[in-house]
Amino acid sequence: MLSLLCDKLVSATLVLLNLLAPVEVHVDRDLAYAPGIRHEADIYRPSVPGPSPVLVFLYGGGWRTGSKEEVAYVGAAFARRGFVVVIPEFRHFPAASLSGILADNAAAVAWTIAHAPELGGDPHRVVVAGHSSGAWAAAMLGLDATWLKQAGSSPEDLAGIVGLAGPYAVTALTDPLDAQVFTGADPTLQPINHAAGPHPALLLLTGAADQDVRPSGTMALADRLRDDHARQEMHIYAGLGHGQIVRSLSFPFSLMAPTADDVARFVAGAHAGP
């Protein structure tokens, strides 16, 4: 009973935070980043004058669910910290393949880089972050140049990548429905297979209590990046589960771990180029 009450309290708090988001900061909703359905983004702007660092946030949902509105609290939290935040909508599996999802995300990122000055942002300080399947997409865009190049950009244009509880290898997934998304998929669609070679700086974050995406996947990617002398940083937060790590990006859940501070520090210091 206590657990159920806690879950209801968390859900109610998130609903309230999402409702308050446009009150706290300026929000431009449903800007088209590409033609077609589900190709719109919400932009959260800080009150301070730009050009500001830019954070593109890709929500999670096991590739099958989710929406930009569900993580409005993330946009508001980082806009309050002085960042321009872009949260794109995109197609889901099975209506879109994994490649289609990556193409949508790449189009959103390339659009953000091209339009950053109009949004009040610095095009040389664009960081792509994501949670869960969104972290998978963020890592793929940073580690495999295929997707951003198809969208008219490049990983070299990114200041950094932030992954929260990312399934960088299929073996990290514990939910059979999530794993089924990769049935028959090309192994090149796993970020772990792109650790070699030059790519943006990465910040990899995970919770020690994550029962949905094993922390071992984050550690494995960090090890491979370390072996390749790539710029990377990893934090494992004690006691945080899969959903808690993304919620900890905003108050009051930020009291659980310094996730938001770690992301803000990384984004503030990131810059495209060597």
Q: Which residues contact 193 (CB under 8 A, 6 or more apart)?
A: 187
> Which among 161, 172, 268, 156 is positioned nearest to 225, based on CA atoms?
161
175 and 211 in contact (C-beta within 8 Å)? no
**Is pTM beyond 0.85 here?**
yes
Q: What is the spatial distance between Cα 40 and Cα 33, in angstroms, rounded to a whole number?
A: 6
User: How many Cα atoms within 13 Å fall on the side-chain side of residue 208?
Assistant: 7
Pair type for strands 84-88 and 40-45: antiparallel
**Average pLDDT for the chain:** 93
Write the pLDDT tens digit of every residue in 156-213: 999 999 999 999 999 999 999 999 999 999 999 999 999 998 899 999 999 999 999 9
Q: What is the pLDDT of residue 6?
A: 58
Write the pLDDT tens digit of every residue in 97-129: 999 999 999 999 999 999 999 999 999 999 999
147 and 108 in contact (C-beta within 8 Å)? no
Q: What is the spatial distance between Cα 200 and Cα 198, in angstroms, rounded to a whole number?
A: 7
Q: Please give the backbone phi and psi of residue 250, each rounded to the nearest 5 degrees, phi first.
A: -135, 150
Quick one: tokens of 237?
């937060």
179 and 170 in contact (C-beta within 8 Å)? yes
Query: What average pLDDT does range 59-75 have in this prediction?
Result: 97
Pair type for strands 121-131 and 160-164: parallel
Quick one: tokens of 127?
């960081």
Q: What is the spatial distance between Cα 259 and Cα 92, in angstroms, rounded to a whole number?
A: 27
Q: Which residues contact 187 (CB under 8 A, 6 or more apart)?
A: 193
For the chain, which domains are there? 2-269 (3.40.50.1820)
> Which among 262, 242, 244 is positioned nearest to 252, based on CA atoms?
244
Write the pLDDT tens digit of every residue in 14-66: 777 767 677 678 999 999 999 999 999 999 999 888 799 999 999 999 999 99
Q: Which residues contact 36 (CB under 8 A, 6 or more apart)?
A: none
